[in-house]
């Protein structure tokens, strides 16, 4: 667990200076091992500061969806890497108040796969603390899905969440299933395009090797 270095303010009170801010990134599916290297993947992320990690998740109630876990140990996900985003001078108490204020805008029933997911939360926190965004690849799949939403299967046209009990399935399982389907759809489209290009190349090669006339 990382700890900050305590200093003493001019009034004799305890303070913290230049506390590191980490983005902890997790894999939601083993398929990330194949598509990560081409800039794709299904990721969960959390913000680590003062030895605690904060993230956003879905549930069916109009209360905060922001939760706290041990750093790099978020249940249900596989830790991939930690990225240093910057530093903050907020004390543990002030940072806790800051997170609680941000959490007021992230209710569990406001979670949306493409427009308001865990990575949107960490990006907002990073922007507020450092003035910079998290690396684009962390939430790229949601951006692609939003841009191409009209081309996606109906099952991926995720509606704004509500508190209705239309499904008895847990929110976490629904989220993972939707993300996996979205990723599979995008990868399938990429593979289909590559196959089509390969067939065109083969046809071109056959044309080049066809004998001319009676020769």
Whole-angstrom Cα distance, residue 118 to residue 181? Answer: 18
Read off the DSSP letter of residue 10. Answer: T
Is 70 exceeded by the pLDDT of residue 28? yes
Is 16 or 148 the better-scoring residue by pLDDT?
16
Indicate the angle between helix axes 171-209 and 140-147, nearest 10 degrees.
Answer: 70
* Residues above pLDDT 70, as percent of the chain: 59
Q: What is the pLDDT of residues 82-140, one digit of tens each?
A: 999 999 999 999 999 999 999 999 999 999 888 899 999 999 999 999 999 999 999 98
pLDDT of the residue at 151: 42
Q: Is the pLDDT of residue 64 over 80?
A: yes
Q: What span, in angstroms and rounded, lies between the C-alpha atoms of 149 and 157?
A: 6
Write down the pLDDT at residue 141. 82
The residues that bridge with 80 in the sheet, in sequence order, are: none
Pick the more confident residue, 186 or 12.
Answer: 186
Q: Is 59 a catalytic residue?
A: no
Confidence grade of residue 164 (pLDDT, cut at 50, 70, 90): very low
What gap in Å lies between CA 186 and CA 179, rounded to an integer? 11
pLDDT at 3: 38
Residue 118 annotated to the active site? yes
Write down the mean pLDDT value for the chain: 76
Domain ranges of the chain: 6-207
Distance separating alpha carbons of residues 203 and 214, to the nearest angstrom = 21
User: Using 50, 70 and 90 to split pLDDT, how confident is the model at 152?
Assistant: very low
Catalytic residue among 44, 50, 59, 120: 44
Q: Which residue has the higher pLDDT, 146 or 65?
A: 65
49-61: pLDDT as tens digits = 999 999 999 999 9
Compute the distance between CA of residue 147 and CA of residue 64 in angstroms, rounded to an integer: 28
Is the CATH code 3.90.1720.30 the one for domain 6-207?
A: yes
Query: What's the pLDDT score for residue 30?
Result: 87
Mean predicted confidence (pLDDT) in 59-65: 96
Give pLDDT, residue 156.
Answer: 45
Q: What share of the chain is helix, strand, coil (3-state, %, to 5)?
A: 45, 20, 35
Residue 166 to residue 160: CA distance in whole angstroms: 13
Select which of 50, 59, 74, 118 is catalytic. Answer: 118
Q: Give residues with Cβ within 8 angstroms of 94, minimum separation 6.
A: none
């Amino acid at each position: 667990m990382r700890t900050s270095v305590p200093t003493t303010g001019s009034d004799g009170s305890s303070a913290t200076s230049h506390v590191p801010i980490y983005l902890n990134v997790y894999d939601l599916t083993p398929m990330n091992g194949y598509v990560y290297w081409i800039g794709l993947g299904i990721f969960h992320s959390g913000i680590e500061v003062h030895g605690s990690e904060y993230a956003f998740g879905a549930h069916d109630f109009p209360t905060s969806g922001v939760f706290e876990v041990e750093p790099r140990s978020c249940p249900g996900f596989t830790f991939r890497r930690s990225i240093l985003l910057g530093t903050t001078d907020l004390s543990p108490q002030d940072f806790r108040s800051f997170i609680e204020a941000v959490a007021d805008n992230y209710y569990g029933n406001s979670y949306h796969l493409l427009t308001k997911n865990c990575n949107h939360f960490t990006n907002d926190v990073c922007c507020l603390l450092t003035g910079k965004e998290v690396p684009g690849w962390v939430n790229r799949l949601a951006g692609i899905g939003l841009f191409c939403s009209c081309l996606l299967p109906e099952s991926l046209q995720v509606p704004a969440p509500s508190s209705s009990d239309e499904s008895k399935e847990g929110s976490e399982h629904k989220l993972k299933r939707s993300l996996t389907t979205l990723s599979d759809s995008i990868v399938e489209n990429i593979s289909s395009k590559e196959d089509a290009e390969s067939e065109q190349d083969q046809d071109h090669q056959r044309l080049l090797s066809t004998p001319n006339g009676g020769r």
